[in-house]
Structure 1
Amino acid sequence: MQIHLLVNTFGQDLLHRYGEKIHKLTLHGAFTCPNRDGTLGKGGCTFCNVASFADENTQQLSISEQLSARKDEVARARRYLAYFQAYTSTYAEVAYLKKMYEEALQVADMVGLCVGTRPDCVPDAVLDLLSHYQQQGREIWLELGLQSAHDETLKRINRGHDFRAYTDAVARAKKRGLKVCTHLIVGLPKEGQEACLSTVEKVVATGTDGIKLHPLHIVDGSTMAKAWRAGRLNALTQTEYVEIAAEMIRHTPPEVVFHRVTASARRPTLLAPDWCEGRWGVMIEMDRYLKQHGSQGSALGRPFQFPS
């Protein structure tokens, strides 16, 4: 399986530009979220339980301690990106963010930052700070959790912002030359392939530089878990996910970088679907689908060609 020959993947993009493998090291900055602390709402998005993707114990460690531990776990890379993943990693005073980001950047062999956040939590001062690091030659990615471009879906999942908040954040980031990666969830309630393709079309039109695809995980502690247990919510099968995600890839221009085409979660936090416990089965099936139907951009008449 060589899906990077069919998809413009982040790993291969970094390898092509840096001449060596760059590995992302996930961090927990002990941030919260305005959709949890009462600023916008309480309880968060209906799909959310951050423990499904972040180890809460790590927030007891400093940023440099976390990075040191993560580097010890990764033997296949010598240079790294610090990935502020959990919750909303721009949701703090700029002075606090500066201290945290620079603690990460000062670690040896760190080439830059990936900062995960919400579209409604990126004030100009934060964008200016990230732009400053990029002007210093750092690799900087602003990762915006959009999930869907449809306002009715965003309201249904209690997202707390609309699509306009996303387009505004992207426009201000692009004005500063920052690269944007957009997170999208496949399998949200009442969204099928047509809705997902519409979302891709809309985010591409904003000028996003990257896309990260996630299958909907039903995780313990989330509002969706209650609906799933009551039989009111069905999870996508692996085949359904592969078909929708692969068609989204085929409808994405080849210059857009896919940071991820699937994701996994751990039990006991993960309740459904079972296939989300691992990634390789999905990757193999997606590789097969794209080989049969066409690579990234092929539905637009612009198939991806792996750089020589």
Structure 2
Amino acid sequence: MKILVTGCAGFIGMHVCERLLARGDEVVGIDNLNDYYDVSLKEARLARLTPNAAFHFHKLDIADRSGMAEFFAQEKLQRVVHLAAQAGVRYSLKNPYAYVDSNLVGFVNVLEGCRHAHVGHFVFASSSSVYGGNTRMPFSEHDNVDHPVSLYAATKKANELMAHTYSHLHGLPTTGLRFFTVYGPWGRPDMSPMLFAKAILEGQPIDVFNHGRMQRDFTYIDDIVEGVIRVLDKPPLASPGFDKNNPDPASSWAPYRLFNIGNHQPVELMTYIETLEKALGKTAQKNFLPLQEGDVPATHADTEALRSWSGFAPATTLSEGIGRFVEWYRRYYQQ
């Protein structure tokens, strides 16, 4: 198939591209290579993809309406994996307009492209952040998610609603994936594995929020990619028997589905730090701080729906995943 991956120079995007190329698909990647974090890391990821003759890169911002329309008109795409977005809960407090431009305007541009190109399946990245103030664990796709606690989360919830509209109005087969704390080799520098590893190796303190009373459903990158590929290969169908009087947020009468992708094994923050310390062979200096505005104390994914639909659910242990991450980190940064 000919598949578009937006955000192809991103952490998840690069890994998805590699898997698709390895199995013989033709991959078209777009990325604006913005400077939200170190551009050289994005370029290094891209350099892993460009030698493959089946990979074609376009430097393009999804917020560029005319550019996106022209791109979709030229390319004959069969499926789309939409991963490009302005990421980060904390940054959304500082620069909200970046999230409007990329996660709302850009998202509509991609939807419009899929609509007019008659794409066979649109798979997009949502986030566990949509669960916001929910306190019932584990987080289920069947739960109401109308109380986001950050603008980033609100844009991801909006993406789910916008995508459903296109699925309903235009018959676009659509699947949204709520990712839970993805980590692993080639990860983002603004996320805790990279931040903590750098600080620990340099003898600098790490910030431990909510005084360490946090839980996260850490999900290894290879598991995320496997979930994305499994879902991509199974476009949802319309459900004429859907009960409109008792609606389920995870499904629809339209060809639309939502799935969590998480490890279903939440880990205490202090346990996670201990695992990283062990892999690095060095103890962290810890700076204990209150819970950050816009953050939540715990995440825990219910992955039964994903398992039932695709036959797969993430299962890589934290110690195994952190070990692989540290191995890559030392090699890449020559530590």
TM-score for the superposition, normalised by structure 1: 0.40
TM-score for the superposition, normalised by structure 2: 0.37
Bigger radius of gyration, 1 or 2? 2
